[in-house]
């Protein structure tokens, strides 16, 4: 059984995260780093997938070789910043099913407002990995996991790049059964719901918007 919170301390992850935090990092570099870091985080989030064996034939002989068991896992991106993590992970798990949840934060209340939800079928039989670079207040993340549970998902993990202690706590209260995998837990949220020191607005930085 996984801990509720896993911080991936691998030097490559931490080095790339530092480059991403730096405000002088260009959009192109930010995107490339996000893709690279998502591969490393995907390695960690899939560490304990159930395995089975299949009979195959190598050029030399037959063997029972390990393979991932069960239905294709699902990646669920919280729009729009989740797509930055999604792209990298799909390179590593190209057969994954993909769902999207559209939530935006009401700037006044910081509460999530849903505008889109499209999930694969048979969610009850799949591992679902929710991806969103920033676990800030945790309100959107908890709402996204609510939607997944309503669709039948029972085996859910949450993958992010950065988390605030407030978001981790919110998720722990709302979904103690959903492990969080992140590259760092920062100091706090500011009055606008931004993670401090953080890296700014992840969506703006990856798409070059303001």
* d(C-alpha 195, C-alpha 95), whole Å: 33
Q: What angle do CA 77, 78, 80 make, to 5 degrees?
A: 100
* d(C-alpha 105, C-alpha 195), whole Å: 14
Residue 132 known to bind ligand = yes
Q: Is 73 exposed, middle or buried (0-12, 13-18, 19+ CB in 10 A)?
A: buried
Nearer to ligand URA, 88 or 198 (CB): 198
Active-site residue, selected from the candidate residues 35, 105, 125, 146? 105
Judged by DSSP in three states, 210 sits in coil
191 in active site: no
Residue 80 known to bind ligand = yes
Nearer to ligand URA, 96 or 136 (CB): 136
Residue 83 known to bind ligand = no
Distance of CA 180 to the CA centre of its chain: 8
Residue 167 known to bind ligand = no
Active-site residue, selected from the candidate residues 50, 58, 109, 191? 109
109 in active site: yes
Measured from the CB of residue 46, what is the shortest distance to ligand URA in angstroms? 24
Selection from 109, 93, 116 nearest residue 41 by Cα: 93
Measured from the CB of residue 185, what is the shortest distance to ligand URA in angstroms? 13
Measured from the CB of residue 167, what is the shortest distance to ligand URA in angstroms? 9
Nearer to ligand URA, 88 or 167 (CB): 167
2 in active site: no
Active-site residue, selected from the candidate residues 87, 125, 146, 201? 201
Residue 140 known to bind ligand = yes
* d(C-alpha 62, C-alpha 56), whole Å: 6
Contact 159, 181 (CB under 8 A): yes
Question: For residue 175, what are its two tokens?
Answer: 């979904």
* d(C-alpha 47, C-alpha 132), whole Å: 19
> What residues make contact with ligand URA under the rule CB under 6 A?
81, 134, 136, 193-195, 198, 201-203
Nearer to ligand URA, 89 or 189 (CB): 189
Question: For residue 73, what are its two tokens?
Answer: 């896992």
201 in active site: yes
- List the catalytic residues: 105, 109, 201, 204
Q: Which residues fall in the annotated binding site for 5-phospho-alpha-D-ribose 1-diphosphate?
A: 80, 105, 132-140, 201
Provide the annotated binding site for uracil.
195, 200-202
Annotated binding site: 80, 105, 132-140, 195, 200-202
């Amino acid at each position: 059984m996984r801990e509720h919170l896993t911080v991936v301390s691998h030097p490559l992850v931490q080095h790339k995260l530092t480059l991403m935090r730096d405000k002088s990092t260009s959009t192109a570099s930010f995107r490339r780093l996000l893709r690279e870091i998502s591969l490393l985080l995907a390695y960690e989030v899939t560490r304990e997938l159930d395995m089975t064996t299949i009979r195959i034939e190598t050029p030399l002989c037959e063997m029972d070789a390990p393979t991932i068991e069960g239905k294709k896992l699902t990646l669920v991106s919280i729009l729009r910043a989740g797509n930055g993590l999604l792209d990298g992970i799909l390179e590593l798990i190209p057969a994954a099913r993909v769902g999207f949840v559209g939530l935006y934060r009401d700037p006044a209340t910081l509460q999530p407002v849903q505008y889109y939800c499209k999930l694969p079928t048979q969610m009850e039989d799949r591992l679902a990995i929710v991806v969103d670079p920033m676990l800030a207040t945790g309100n959107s993340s908890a709402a996204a996991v609510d939607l997944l549970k309503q669709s039948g998902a029972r085996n859910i993990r949450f993958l992010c790049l950065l988390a605030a202690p407030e978001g981790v706590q919110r998720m722990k209260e709302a979904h103690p059964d959903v492990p969080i995998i992140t590259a760092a837990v920062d100091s706090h949220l500011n009055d606008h719901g931004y993670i401090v020191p953080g890296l700014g607005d992840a969506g703006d930085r990856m798409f070059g918007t303001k």
